[in-house]
Amino acid sequence: MKAFEYSSPTTPEDALKDLAGPGTVEALSGGTDLIGRMKDYVASPDRVVYLKDVKALAGIAEKSGGLEIGAGTRLVDLSADPIVRKRLPALHQATVEVGTPQIRNMATVGGNLLQRPRCWYFRNGHGLLGTKDGKSLVREGDNRYHAIFLTEGDALFINPSSLAVPLIALNAQATVVGPGGERTIPVEKLYQVPKSSDDRELTLAPGELLTKVTIPAGEVKNGFFEARQKQSHDWPLVAAAVGLKMNGDTVGDGRVVLYGVAPIPWRSEAAEKAIRGKALTRETAEAAAAAAVEGAKPLSMNGYKVALVKTTVKRALLDAAGDRYWEEA
């Protein structure tokens, strides 16, 4: 880890000042991602701004506009929140499946959303796109954990935030403050597909600060399913979250969002179309699952993820419907 200067502001205003630099700056919250990246020299900032002393960033509150979750809210507190547990089981489930008890005590909502990809070529110092001598190491190499959508492009990593998936399914909005003021964007707009190795996958500009995410009021049936190798600490291979506005017994407007398949949280428009106006039955779920894999172009090793997309989409929908057919009797 390279030496850096350190500040620990206690107000968002001071945090913004500190984030302005000079030099390269990294914001530090739980530390479970950034500290590791710094130890591996994947990040070597001149300055680290510790945000956990900014108490105003933490907390969950129900406001007229919806449920506000501070970016500094720890995952342990999010998982214990009774409203989330009752009304937003998809978010609750995704949260309790992140990391370990210790990680959930440390990690924050903002840190989860803005962590950097786990792609092992990136983590081994080959840049976000994982290239060497201009060639993709990912495409030729071990891509078992990489993307199956948008793979005609150069960004083959997957977005690492499993909370982004239910949050996008729930149409959550992110509030970002920066030197230029405050702006509110859909959570999905926090991410972009980088076009070159100079790009980033996050849209936040240096000096900007994610302060909260807001889940709009209104009833949304939601569900989540994640497939992973280990039951203990592990990353999902693929996960799906759904947020469904119902018209009586049929789906009015529904969102189907996937983890583990693209460099951004992946909204499956085909699956969303397949469920519109349909009742939440196994047939609907199967149809959505089949639609969800349309256009998938797996890499050399990750064809198995196609099956996982089908399964997770189907199960997330049926989870929302309360039909957990896969649970052992």
Partner 1 sequence: MASWPESPRLIGTSIPRLDGLAKASGRAKYPSDIRPEGLLFGVLLSSPHASAKVKAIDLEPAKTMPGVKAVLALATAGESTIFYQGQEIAAVAAETEEKARDAARAIRVEYEILPHVATERQSAAEGAPKVFPTGNTRAARAQTTGKPDEAMQKADAVIEATYELPVITHVCLEPHGLTAHWKGPDSITVYASTQSVMGVANDMVENLGLESANVTVLTDVMGGGFGSKFNADTWGIAAAKLAKEAGRPVRMFLDRAQEHQLGGNRPSAKAKIKLGAAKDGKLVAMVAETSGTGGRGGSNFPLPYVYKVDDRSRAHTEIFVNGGSARAMRAPGHPQGCAVMEAAMDDLAAKLGINPLAFRLANLAEADMVAGGVNRTDLYKEQVERGAKLIGWDRWKPRGQNGDGPIKRGLGLALHQWGGGGAQDKQVACIINPDGSVELRSATQDIGTGARTILAVIAAEVLGLEVGQIKSNIGNSTFPPGQSSGGSTTTPSMAPPCLDAVEKARDELFKRIAPGLDAKPEDLSLKGGKLLVKGEEKATWAQACRKLGMMPVTATGVFGPGLASTGVGGCQFAEVTVDVETGVVRVKKIVAVQDSGLILDMLTWKSQVYGGVIGGLNYGLFEERIMDEGTGAMLNPDMEMYKLAGATDIPEIVVDAYDTPEMRVRGVIGVGEPPTISTAAAIGNAVANAIGVRVPKWPMSPMNVLDALAAAEGKA
Partner 2 sequence: MAEQDSRTPTGPGGHSRRKFLRGSGLAAASAVLTSQAAVAIEEAQAEAAAAEPKLLSGEAPLTLKVNGEEKSCTVEPRSTLLDTLRDRLDVTGPKRVCDRASCGACTVILDGDPVYSCTTLAVSCKGKTIETVEGFDIGEGGVPHAFHQHDGLMCGYCTPGFVTACKAYLDKNPGKTPTLEDVKRGLDGNICRCGTYMGVFEAALAAAKTMKGA
Q: Does 288 bind partner 1 (CB under 8 A)?
A: no
Going residue by residue from 139 to 158, which x/- string records binding to partner 1, judged by CB under 8 A? -xxx-xx-------------
Cα–Cα distance, 238 to 245 (Å, whole number): 24
**Beta strands per DSSP E along 98-208:** 131-132, 135-136, 173-178, 181-186
Cα–Cα distance, 8 to 201 (Å, whole number): 26
Q: Does 175 bind partner 2 (CB under 8 A)?
A: no
Q: List Cβ neighbours of 71 (8 Å cut-off, separation of 6 or more).
A: 29, 57, 108, 109, 110, 113, 209, 210, 211, 212, 213
Distance of closest approach, residue 137 Cβ to partner 1, in angstroms: 5
Q: Does 11 bind partner 2 (CB under 8 A)?
A: no
- Residues numbered 203 to 242 that lie near partner 1 (CB under 8 A) are 227-235, 237
| Ordered DSSP codes for 232-256 | SS---SEEEEEEEEEETTEEEEEEE
Cα–Cα distance, 112 to 132 (Å, whole number): 28
Going residue by residue from 99 to 128, which x/- string records binding to partner 1, judged by CB under 8 A? -x-----------------x-xx--x-x--
Q: Write out the two tokens for 105.
A: 């005590």
Of the candidate spans 2-10, 288-296, 299-307, 309-317, the one that interacts with partner 2 by CB under 8 A turns out to be 2-10
Among 32, 136, 214, 302, the residue binding partner 2 under the rule CB under 8 A is 32
Cα–Cα distance, 232 to 88 (Å, whole number): 23
Q: Does 267 bind partner 2 (CB under 8 A)?
A: no
Distance of closest approach, residue 232 Cβ to partner 2, in angstroms: 5
Cα–Cα distance, 152 to 261 (Å, whole number): 13
What residue ranges bind partner 1 (CB under 8 A)?
1-3, 41, 100, 118, 120-121, 124, 126, 132, 137, 140-142, 144-145, 227-235, 237, 301-304, 307-308, 310-311, 314-315, 325-326, 328
